[in-house]
């Protein structure tokens, strides 16, 4: 609540009254509002296809309908709950397990999905900045020399990493990357005493060791995944962000904002990068303040900017909560209708790479 109040205080002088926003809302173009709704629905569908690609990469088949239900449900959880991102990831992990993924594969899909989403957002920011730099190299260099060098360095490094990744041969795994090592570790690792004080240094050391093994397992699964599934997941993640940005652009068009697509893209990506810091559930208050301040700074009228922020957040955030509740009910009913598919209880043979 303190962060929300602070965020609102930063734009207190830019928030117009309701009597100023009402004429803008009445003069809106409903056709563009319809385009914004379709763009947001398409964005959520692309997020679901991102999950499907990663699940297929670990040998799990999931239907589009069930994955869409999962996408809306976990998005609603991330928006409306404290530590919503962690709760959303935990819910996705449980659902992947019910669909047949083992522990390591389900964990890898959750982590890789987050990496794909954040990586695609950074790529879009870099691409937009590079387009702006190519359009006006002199002014961009004079205004932001450090950022220009940083974006160019990151872009070159990213291109090199991508080329190395596509040149690497595919090495499939015949079993889970942690199964054999995890069993050996549990047998060899010293166990904490059942009674008495907790040995904190030893406990922390064991947890760090297990975390390292988990991350190595995720890397092994990612490297063993067919390249087409990883590439498709990253592509769907980028298209997901573009669809959400198209929603903002359509709402801005509906309320006649005098901003071009490059300006809107810069505002959008900046707000989404701020949203990655889990200050409030779903970025409530922070996203609104960031968008409103950025739009007015870019030259939009305060009333039109406020209407745009209201319309965009309504479609991309607030309406997702009841939709997620509905899909959660759908998933619960599907669970009651038939037994879930679970992986075998016995551990597979140790892996040999």
| Residue 91, pLDDT score | 93
Stretch 265-291: mean pLDDT, rounded?
A: 77
The pTM (predicted TM-score) of the whole model is 0.75
| Residue 298, pLDDT score | 82
Stretch 287-302: mean pLDDT, rounded?
A: 84
Sign (positive/negative) of CA torsion 37, 38, 39, 43?
positive
CA distance 3 to 309: 19
Residues of the chain with pLDDT > 70, as a percent, come to: 71
| Residue 82, pLDDT score | 77
Q: Buried b / exposed e across 181-217, counting CB within 10 Å, b at 16+?
A: ebeeeeeeeeeeeeeeeeeeeeeeebeeeeeebbeeb
Q: Quick check: 217 pLDDT over 60? A: yes
Higher confidence at residue 155 or residue 274?
274
| Residue 130, pLDDT score | 76
Higher confidence at residue 234 or residue 201?
234
* pLDDT bucket at 190, cuts 50 / 70 / 90: very low
* pLDDT bucket at 270, cuts 50 / 70 / 90: confident
């Amino acid at each position: 609540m303190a962060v929300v109040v602070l965020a609102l205080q930063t734009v207190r002088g830019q928030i117009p009254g309701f009597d100023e926003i009402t004429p803008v809302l009445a003069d809106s173009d409903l056709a563009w509002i319809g385009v914004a709704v379709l763009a947001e629905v398409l964005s959520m569908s692309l997020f679901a296809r991102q999950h499907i690609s990663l699940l297929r990469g670990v040998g799990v088949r999931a239907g589009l309908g069930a994955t869409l239900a999962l996408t809306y449900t976990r998005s609603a959880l991330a928006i409306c709950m404290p530590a919503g991102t962690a709760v959303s990831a935990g819910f996705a992990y449980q659902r992947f397990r019910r669909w047949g993924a083992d522990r390591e594969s389900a964990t890898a899909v959750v982590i890789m999905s987050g990496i794909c989403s954040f990586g695609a957002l950074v790529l879009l920011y870099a691409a937009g900045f590079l387009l702006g730099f190519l359009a006006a190299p002199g002014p961009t260099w004079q205004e932001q020399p450090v950022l220009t060098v940083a974006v160019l360095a990151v872009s070159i490094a990213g291109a090199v990493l991508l080329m190395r990744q596509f040149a690497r041969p595919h090495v499939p795994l015949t079993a889970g990357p942690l199964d054999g090592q995890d069993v050996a570790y549990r047998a060899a690792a010293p166990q904490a005493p059942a009674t008495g004080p907790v040995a904190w240094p030893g406990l922390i050391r064991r947890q760090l060791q297990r975390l390292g093994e988990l991350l190595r397992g995720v890397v092994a699964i990612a490297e063993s995944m067919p390249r087409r599934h990883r590439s498709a997941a990253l592509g769907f993640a980028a298209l997901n962000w573009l669809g959400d940005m198209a929603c903002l652009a359509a709402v801005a068009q509906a309320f006649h904002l005098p901003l071009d697509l490059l300006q809107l893209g810069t505002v959008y990506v900046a707000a989404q990068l701020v949203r990655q810091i889990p200050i409030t559930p779903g970025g409530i208050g922070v996203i609104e303040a960031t968008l409103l301040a950025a739009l007015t700074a870019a030259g939009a009228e305060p009333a039109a900017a406020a209407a745009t922020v209201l319309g965009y957040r309504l479609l991309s955030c607030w309406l997702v909560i009841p939709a997620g509740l509905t899909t959660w009910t759908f998933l619960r009913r599907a669970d009651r209708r038939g037994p879930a598919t679970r992986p075998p209880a016995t551990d597979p043979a140790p892996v040999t790479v």
